[in-house]
Amino acid sequence: MSLRPYTYVTLSLRPESTPHVGVSFHTPDLKVGAGLLLSGPRPYLELYSHEANVHISTTGAGPVTDADLSTAREIFTAAARYLADCEQLHAEQTANDQDATDPAA
């Protein structure tokens, strides 16, 4: 079963707790951007679709901290892993699709 593309956003509010926002992008319409805001200057990363935006920047929108560098490295490592997993699964799916349509198989 395959679902249609979608973006899912949740907001959880509990008494005496910090609010929690969750954003799940499951769409080919996802865009990713990064740059440097000149009003600082400070770096930013954004993920967005027609339904939701996620913006990431430095702590308190201030100067780059050691924690900001650590977070940026974690994002980079996670994105590289995501790319590798997507490439592997795509290659496997392509091979399976070709096997399924090959009359000699």
Ranges of residues in the chain with a pLDDT under 70 are 1-2, 103-105
Report pTM: 0.80
What is the reported pLDDT for 96?
86
pLDDT value of residue 105: 55
* Token code pair at residue 29: 């319409």
Interatomic CA distance for residues 46 and 89, integer angstroms? 25
Which pLDDT value is given to residue 14? 95
Sign of the alpha-carbon torsion through 66, 55, 10, 3: negative
State the pLDDT at residue 1: 55
